Amino acid sequence: MTSSTGRKVTANLSLTLDGRYNGPGGPNDFGPFAPYVTTDVARDHMTRIWEDATTALLGRLNAEGFMGYWPSVAQDDNADPRDRGYATWLVGTEKVVLSTTLAQAPWDRTRVVNAPAADVVADLKTTGDGDILVNSSASIIKPLLSADLLDRLYLMIFPEIAGGGQRLFDDGLPATKWTLTHQETGELGEMAMVYDRVR
């Protein structure tokens, strides 16, 4: 029996009013999100997600996208300080990438694991400290919701109905109760919310 260190498993994701994490154009359709991701509320929320996290858990597609973009932001003196803070954290923190196709990680401080998300999280909880952040990777968040392994959800809700695209909350999830521990609304109607799992 492995023992847990008490690390929290957290996840962040942005959703439209109709619960989509991308638009009808597919995984790279972020049209409904674009007007809101650089608002003060969204940037402050981004800072909130990583402040207590020491491990980033990512799917391969997100890892490739993030590591192709954020390292240059970490070096950009003109970038918003909140963007630089997140970028610097992402580059420097432990990263675990779930992939069935990558053999090795092309990024520093990163290891690739080909295993179910629930097993990887159980393993991570036995060592180290700080939160384990599932960083915008719905492919990992979904199985962790199914296994009831998430302790906190960081959600940004954007005031648009996408009318298509992938949904986060599929039918068949176990019934769970959450408490709202933080909420903030921006000028464009975007909402940042933090929900903690009630156990």
Question: Taking all residues of the chain, what is their mean pLDDT, rounded to a whole number?
Answer: 94
Neighbour-count burial for 151-178, b at 16+ CB within 10 Å, e otherwise: bbbbbbbbebebeebbbbeeeeeeeeee
pLDDT reading at 160 higher than 60 = yes
pLDDT value of residue 2? 54
- 110 pLDDT band, cuts 50/70/90, is very high
- 27 pLDDT band, cuts 50/70/90, is confident
- Averaged pLDDT for residues 44-53: 97
Note whether 121 and 149 are within 8 A (CB). Answer: yes
Q: Where are the domains of the chain?
A: 10-54+147-191, 56-127
pLDDT value of residue 6? 84
Task: Give tens-digit pLDDT for 63-105.
Answer: 999 999 999 999 999 999 999 999 999 999 999 999 999 988 8
The percent of residues above 70 in pLDDT, for the chain, comes to: 97
Structure token pair of residue 111:
């290891």
Distance of alpha carbon 22 from alpha carbon 86, whole angstroms: 22
- 35 pLDDT band, cuts 50/70/90, is very high
Structure token pair of residue 189:
């109607």
pLDDT value of residue 18? 96
Q: In sequence order, which ranges of the chain are alpha helices (DSSP H)?
A: 40-50, 60-74, 81-92, 117-124, 138-146
pLDDT reading at 128 higher than 60 = yes
